Structure 1
Amino acid sequence: MSKPQPLNHTREQITSLDNELLALLAKRRELSLDVARSKEVDVRPIRDTIREKELLSRLVKQGREQGLDAHYVISLYQSIIEDSVLNQQAYLHGRANPETQQQQYCIAYLGARGSYSYLAASRYCNRRQVEMQDLGCQSFDEIVQAVESGHADYGFLPIENTSSGSINEVYDVLQHTSLAIVGETTIEVGHCLLANSGSNIADIKTVYAHPQPISQCSRYLSQRSEFKLEYCSSSAEAMEKVCNANDSSVAAIGSAEGGALYQLEAIETDLANQKVNQSRFIVVARKAVEVPSQLPAKCTLIMATGQKPGALVEALLVLKARNLNMSKLESRPIPGTPWEEMFYLDIDANLSSEPMQAALKELERTTRFIKVLGCYPCETVKPTQLSNSQLMIEPNTSKSTAVAATTSNKQQRFSKQYKSEATQVVCGQLDLGNGNIGALAQMQLPIDLLQFEQMAKELKEAGFQAVAIQGLSQQSDVINSIDKFKHALAQFNLVCVLVIEHETDLTMATQFADVVMLSGNLMYNQAILIQLGSLLVPVIVERNTMASVDDLLNAAEIILGQGNQQLILCESGVTTLNNSGKPSLDLAALVELKALSHLPILVNPSYAIESEQMPTFVRAIRQLKGDGVMVNLSAIEHASKADTAELINKILSSLYQSH
């Protein structure tokens, strides 16, 4: 065996390669701007997904030949493509609005240097290659006033977080300003426990933080009951207090990047409840901007529908009729008008487009108040995906090949052409489809038996017919526990649904479940789909967050082709934030599925919709002919048990009263 070269020499070679890679990436970025200049002349869309797929497919093949994993290559180039798309958008948007092109922007943001708002504003300016003159503010009102008065060119307002949800104070501010939304940006939020150099976690007694990070790190903080929490107006203020204290017993919650500005060290990382934690910011200015037609655009508007029954649903159907996708719906009370709400909508469309203009005209006739807050480039870049065959990892079993051949040669079994009457799936008290509606509760393991039995009793009394149990791999002594859980559900005539999240869950689910549910992350697993098709119990298939309606129906076809006709489809939301984070509820998919298929359709709005909005959305689901809802109890946890019970009562009342 030959002696390896000295470590220092190897590291020098790696450093040299890294420098070359950076130079090549910079050159590639310059070329992408040349592409933008060409698209400006030809007026072509920013994204060419066909070319992107061809590019990824070729790179995956070349990478394999050089020993590189396909997913590694795809992940790397998805980031490169996202950077290219966002840079091209920024260039074309600037060209369409020459009055905004300056060497320096004055940006008003919450807190001081080092806050998440500061980091978001910095990245926004860096992408546009302009210098940022920062103006830290103590409140959202102060940010708006700075822009309205002309002291700042732009204001940055955090609008939502994938962990803690919408930031209601910002929506309230938007009701009363003449400013226009002219942009958006999303940043990764990495919460750390920051302390002075030399501090130890055992020494920490006081933690300074903004209320939002405290909410997003609630699980971590609940395990540290010895911490005394001190609320601050921003993460920057929290870090500044720790820095000035020069005390090893105090710490702040903030980003490692921001902490470095205050010479603070991260003594604990990844504090957030959710692994993926992102914050979306909107950019406000005194004057609205134009968005070139080739850029993906987003419109934000506010409207008041009045108290007429079904008024919100009618408004949403106006958007559906024009094939306009609503990516967010939020409501806030109208001051001085009890029991009435103002609705905020994000619509994926350009304000100048024909469908959007037609929708606005009709909404102006049917609503009590409506106002466009802004039209701006959408900075959510959905990653280009390759199929299994393009990844060259598609299963090659004779059985799955036979299924594919059968599907292509015969009428599709999920379609209304194959079966004109609606399918009805009945299992115990659960009755879905053909005019029957149902409600399923979703519970997360681990949980002890006594708590489970109490929850089962309450769910039955509330009006649920079934309980979906997920997290099988998290429960200790799982086989014995599931047997007891099923017995407890049977005592209250509740159907036991077991959720398959890993391939190893399948054996247990088929042994104990009254109904088996396939989690969306396994929707593309043909081997599992084939096994589910051979079962004699009903099956629920959840749509993958990156899947199209066609993908979901193809999965259904595989199950039906194996003989199991007791199939239910479930829509739980689609990903809109960089393939991660809080999804958007796709009610358009519900309408499309009901038009194409005879199968019952469940909708689970828990992951995409704020808890307080769920009754409203459940009414909409019924109006759009959904066959039932699934409610994830963990996603609607409130400060008190009474609040959760009241919300569940409102959700089920919305479901059954509209029936």
Structure 2
Amino acid sequence: MNKPQPLDHTREQITSLDNDLLALLARRRELSLDVARSKEVDVRPIRDTIREKELLSRLVKQGREQGLDAHYVISLYQSIIEDSVLNQQAYLHGRANPETQQQQYCIAYLGARGSYSYLAASRYCDRRQVEMQDLGCQSFDEIVEAVESGHADYGFLPIENTSSGSINEVYDVLQHTSLAIVGETTIEVGHCLLANSGSSINDIKTVYAHPQPISQCSRYLSQHSEFKLEYCSSSAEAMEMVCNANDNSVAAIGSAEGGALYQLEAVETGLANQKVNQSRFIVVARKAVEVPSQLPAKCTLIMATGQKPGALVEALLVLKARNLNMSKLESRPIPGTPWEEMFYLDIDANLSSEPMQAALKELERTTRFIKVLGCYPCETVKPTQLSNSQLMIEPNTSKSTTAPVAIDQKQQRFSKQYKNELTQVICGQLTLGNGSLGAVAQVQLPIDLQQFEQMAKELKESGFQAVVIQGLSQQSDLISSIEKFKHALSQFNLICILAIEHETDLSMAIQFADVVMLAGNLMYNQAILNQLGSLLVPVILERNAMASVDDLLNAAEEILSQGNQQLILCESGVTTLNNSGRPSLDLAALVEIKALSHLPVIVNPSYAIDAEQLPTFAKAIKQLKGDGVMMNLSAIEPATQGDSSMLIKAVLGNLYH
């Protein structure tokens, strides 16, 4: 056996290779700007997804020949492509707005150096290769004032987080400023427990943090009830408090990168509730900017529709008629006007485009107030993906020369190309799809049998056809209870739907349910999808709050491919469009799914919107061709002080009439 070379020598070789790789990546980035210059002349779109797929396919093949895993190659090059796209966008955007090109930007942001706002601003400037003069502020109002007064060129405002939701204070500030949104940027938020050198988790007694990280790390903090929480105005202030304390019993929640500026070390990492935790920031300036036509653009506007019935629906239908995708919808109260709200919309369109201009003109005629807050390049770069057949290891060509064939949309069972007629799912009194609307109530266990029986009677009288029972693991003596609950429902001709929220719920649901509902958190569980596909009872598939429409339809395909064609899709909201930590209803997804698929779609708006808005949204769901409404009674009863009957009557009235 040959003796391996000394470890130090091997490490020197790796270091040399790393230096070569960095030099090559820098050279590749320079060449990508040459591509942008060419696209500026030819006015071609930034993204060329066909070429990107061809590139990835070729690289995967070459990587396999050198022993590299396909997913490793794709992950690496998706990052490289994203960097290339964002750099090309920044270059072209700068060329279209020469008056903004400076050697140095003064940026106003929340907190001090080391805060997440500081990190976002730094990366924004780095991408544009300009020096940043930073101006730390103590509040969002102070950021806006600094830009309005000319003390700062740009202001950075956090607008939403995938874990804790929208930053409502920022929306309120935007109502009263003349500043324009001129850009956006998204950063990964890696929350760590930061402490002075030599500290351990057992030493920590007090934790300093901004309210947002506390909300985003609530699950971790709930496991450490011994921590005393101290709120700070920013993550930077929290880290500074710990640094100045020189005490091993105190810690801060912040990023490892920011902690390094304060000589703090990470005691624990990965504190956030969600594995993918991102914060989106908007960039505001005194003057609006022009966005070249070849850049993906986003337009943000605010509007007040007034209190007439269906006003919001009418506004959304204006966008739908012009094929404009609304990627965000937020509502905030109008100060001094009780029960009226201002709506904030992000629309994936360039302000100068013909559809957007036509939509604005019509909205100006139908709304009480409307204002464009800004048009700016969209920095959300959707990763290019390869099909499953392209990721598979190719067969031995010595035995077969037949290449794997990708399934086209005509072969996908969920699609309208595969099945022309709209699917209608019928189970007892519940009929959904192909023109039939249904109403489903959702109740949470544990619950007393007598209370459940009274609830079943009231739900039947209200107009519901089915009841989803969730929280199976919370009910004592589950088998006996479910049998009694199902019997109570059958007395009033109500369909029993059991929700699978944990893998252990599956056997119980299969045994007793008239319809099985798979909660969104299990949407990616391949084994459960296959089992549901083999059932003879209808299945409701709820969209995961982080899933795209494609992800939902792919999960539906898994169920359909196993034989069960009695499938209903459920939209309950997505975390990227949330309000005060809640998911937000994705009505654009409803429209998209109905255009692509023959499957019925039921919508559950209970988690995403305020209770008093449910009747309006029920009407919107119906007009947008939704096939039914699901209402979570546990989510709406606190808002109605337990008297939800009038609200339910209004919702179902708008659905059926």
* TM-score for the superposition, normalised by structure 2: 0.85
Report the CA distance between 1:424 and its aligned residue. 4.1
1:189-268 counterparts in 2 under 5 A?
189-268=189-268
- Residues 613 and 319 of structure 1: is their aligned pair in 2 closer, same or farther, counting only changes over 3 Å? farther
1:178 aligned residue: 178
1:313 aligned residue: 313
Report the CA distance between 1:141 and its aligned residue. 0.6
Report the CA distance between 1:85 and its aligned residue. 0.5
Query: Which amino acid in the other structure matches residue 21 of structure 1?
Result: L
Query: Which amino acid in the other structure matches residue 282 of structure 1?
Result: I
Pair 1:658-2:654 in alignment:
yes
Per mean C-alpha deviation after superposition, the further-off stretch among 551-560 and 24-33 is 551-560
2:401 aligned residue: none
- Residues 497 and 429 of structure 1: is their aligned pair in 2 closer, same or farther, counting only changes over 3 Å? farther
Q: Matched residue of 1:182: which SS?
A: strand
2:496 aligned residue: 495
- Residues 65 and 428 of structure 1: is their aligned pair in 2 closer, same or farther, counting only changes over 3 Å? same
Question: Is the Cα–Cα contact under 8 Å of residues 89 and 295 in structure 1 kept in the other structure?
Answer: yes
Per mean C-alpha deviation after superposition, the further-off stretch among 30-39 and 612-621 is 612-621
Tell me the distance in 1 between the aligned counterparts of 2:569 and 2:211.
39
Report the CA distance between 1:588 and its aligned residue. 3.8
Per mean C-alpha deviation after superposition, the further-off stretch among 426-435 and 519-528 is 519-528
| Deviations 1:547-601, CA, capped at 9 Å, x for gaps | 656x867876786687644332334567979xxx998754344335446665421
1:446 aligned residue: none
Question: Is the Cα–Cα contact under 8 Å of residues 442 and 630 in structure 1 kept in the other structure?
Answer: no
1:237-636 counterparts in 2 under 5 A?
237-392=237-392, 415=416, 423-427=423-427, 430-433=430-433, 434-441=435-442, 450=446, 465-467=466-468, 469=470, 483=479, 486-487=482-483, 489-490=485-486, 492-493=488-489, 495-499=496-500, 510-517=510-517, 532=532, 534-542=534-542, 564-571=564-571, 585-594=585-594, 599-605=599-605, 609=608, 615=614, 617-630=617-630
Tell me the distance in 2 between the aligned counterparts of 1:512 and 1:202.
47
Tell me the distance in 2 between the aligned counterparts of 1:454 and 1:152.
64
1:642 aligned residue: 638
Per mean C-alpha deviation after superposition, the further-off stretch among 169-178 and 256-265 is 256-265
Report the CA distance between 1:619 and its aligned residue. 3.9
Query: Which amino acid in the other structure matches residue 327 of structure 1?
Result: S
Tell me the distance in 2 between the aligned counterparts of 1:111 and 1:458.
54
- Residues 576 and 216 of structure 1: is their aligned pair in 2 closer, same or farther, counting only changes over 3 Å? closer
Report the CA distance between 1:379 and its aligned residue. 0.5
Q: Matched residue of 1:102: which SS?
A: coil
Question: Is the Cα–Cα contact under 8 Å of residues 482 and 512 in structure 1 kept in the other structure?
Answer: no
2:100 aligned residue: 100
1:152 aligned residue: 152
- Residues 442 and 392 of structure 1: is their aligned pair in 2 closer, same or farther, counting only changes over 3 Å? farther
Pair 1:63-2:59 in alignment:
no
- Residues 496 and 319 of structure 1: is their aligned pair in 2 closer, same or farther, counting only changes over 3 Å? same
| Deviations 1:4-35, CA, capped at 9 Å, x for gaps | 33322222222222222111111111111111
Per mean C-alpha deviation after superposition, the further-off stretch among 23-32 and 558-567 is 558-567
- Residues 559 and 274 of structure 1: is their aligned pair in 2 closer, same or farther, counting only changes over 3 Å? closer
Tell me the distance in 1 between the aligned counterparts of 2:303 and 2:428.
43
1:142 aligned residue: 142
- Residues 413 and 103 of structure 1: is their aligned pair in 2 closer, same or farther, counting only changes over 3 Å? closer
Tell me the distance in 2 between the aligned counterparts of 1:531 and 1:106.
57
- Residues 350 and 413 of structure 1: is their aligned pair in 2 closer, same or farther, counting only changes over 3 Å? closer
Report the CA distance between 1:244 and its aligned residue. 1.2
Tell me the distance in 2 between the aligned counterparts of 1:19 and 1:207.
40
Report the CA distance between 1:254 and its aligned residue. 1.3
- Residues 467 and 452 of structure 1: is their aligned pair in 2 closer, same or farther, counting only changes over 3 Å? farther
Question: Is the Cα–Cα contact under 8 Å of residues 429 and 495 in structure 1 kept in the other structure?
Answer: no
Q: Matched residue of 2:90: which SS?
A: helix
- Residues 27 and 618 of structure 1: is their aligned pair in 2 closer, same or farther, counting only changes over 3 Å? farther
Tell me the distance in 2 between the aligned counterparts of 1:562 and 1:224.
44
Question: Is the Cα–Cα contact under 8 Å of residues 431 and 438 in structure 1 kept in the other structure?
Answer: no
Tell me the distance in 2 between the aligned counterparts of 1:19 and 1:484.
67
Query: Which amino acid in the other structure matches residue 466 of structure 1?
Result: V
Tell me the distance in 2 between the aligned counterparts of 1:33 and 1:384.
20
2:398 aligned residue: none
Report the CA distance between 1:655 and its aligned residue. 3.6
2:164 aligned residue: 164
Query: Which amino acid in the other structure matches residue 107 of structure 1?
Result: I
Report the CA distance between 1:383 and its aligned residue. 0.8
- Residues 525 and 109 of structure 1: is their aligned pair in 2 closer, same or farther, counting only changes over 3 Å? closer
* TM-score for the superposition, normalised by structure 1: 0.85
Tell me the distance in 1 between the aligned counterparts of 2:284 and 2:454.
46
Report the CA distance between 1:458 and its aligned residue. 9.6
| Deviations 1:257-277, CA, capped at 9 Å, x for gaps | 111111111212222222221
Question: Is the Cα–Cα contact under 8 Å of residues 187 and 280 in structure 1 kept in the other structure?
Answer: yes
- Residues 81 and 645 of structure 1: is their aligned pair in 2 closer, same or farther, counting only changes over 3 Å? farther
1:35-114 counterparts in 2 under 5 A?
35-114=35-114
Query: Which amino acid in the other structure matches residue 213 of structure 1?
Result: P
- Residues 40 and 199 of structure 1: is their aligned pair in 2 closer, same or farther, counting only changes over 3 Å? same
Report the CA distance between 1:3 and its aligned residue. 3.2
Query: Which amino acid in the other structure matches residue 538 of structure 1?
Result: P
- Residues 65 and 175 of structure 1: is their aligned pair in 2 closer, same or farther, counting only changes over 3 Å? same
Question: Is the Cα–Cα contact under 8 Å of residues 409 and 417 in structure 2 kept in the other structure?
Answer: no
Tell me the distance in 1 between the aligned counterparts of 2:576 and 2:227.
36
Query: Which amino acid in the other structure matches residue 93 of structure 2?
Result: H
Tell me the distance in 1 between the aligned counterparts of 2:269 and 2:653.
47
- Residues 334 and 107 of structure 1: is their aligned pair in 2 closer, same or farther, counting only changes over 3 Å? same
- Residues 47 and 6 of structure 1: is their aligned pair in 2 closer, same or farther, counting only changes over 3 Å? same
Tell me the distance in 2 between the aligned counterparts of 1:325 and 1:485.
45
Per mean C-alpha deviation after superposition, the further-off stretch among 317-326 and 490-499 is 490-499
Tell me the distance in 2 between the aligned counterparts of 1:14 and 1:404.
39
Query: Which amino acid in the other structure matches residue 437 of structure 2?
Result: N
- Residues 557 and 322 of structure 1: is their aligned pair in 2 closer, same or farther, counting only changes over 3 Å? same
Question: Is the Cα–Cα contact under 8 Å of residues 163 and 575 in structure 2 kept in the other structure?
Answer: no
| Deviations 1:67-121, CA, capped at 9 Å, x for gaps | 2222111111111111111010000000000010001000000111111111111
| Deviations 1:324-358, CA, capped at 9 Å, x for gaps | 00011111111111111111100000000000000
Per mean C-alpha deviation after superposition, the further-off stretch among 459-468 and 244-253 is 459-468
Per mean C-alpha deviation after superposition, the further-off stretch among 330-339 and 582-591 is 582-591
Q: Matched residue of 1:243: which SS?
A: helix
Tell me the distance in 2 between the aligned counterparts of 1:416 and 1:55.
29
Report the CA distance between 1:145 and its aligned residue. 0.5
Tell me the distance in 2 between the aligned counterparts of 1:4 and 1:592.
59
Aligned residues: 632
Report the CA distance between 1:645 and its aligned residue. 6.7
Question: Is the Cα–Cα contact under 8 Å of residues 612 and 647 in structure 1 kept in the other structure?
Answer: no
Tell me the distance in 2 between the aligned counterparts of 1:629 and 1:262.
52
2:492 aligned residue: none
Report the CA distance between 1:232 and its aligned residue. 1.3
Percent of residue pairs bearing the same amino acid type: 79
Report the CA distance between 1:404 and its aligned residue. 10
Report the CA distance between 1:486 and its aligned residue. 3.5
- Residues 574 and 525 of structure 1: is their aligned pair in 2 closer, same or farther, counting only changes over 3 Å? same
- Residues 416 and 458 of structure 1: is their aligned pair in 2 closer, same or farther, counting only changes over 3 Å? farther
- Residues 653 and 270 of structure 1: is their aligned pair in 2 closer, same or farther, counting only changes over 3 Å? farther
Tell me the distance in 2 between the aligned counterparts of 1:71 and 1:333.
46
CA RMSD of aligned residues (A): 4.0
Question: Is the Cα–Cα contact under 8 Å of residues 305 and 367 in structure 2 kept in the other structure?
Answer: yes
Tell me the distance in 1 between the aligned counterparts of 2:393 and 2:576.
26
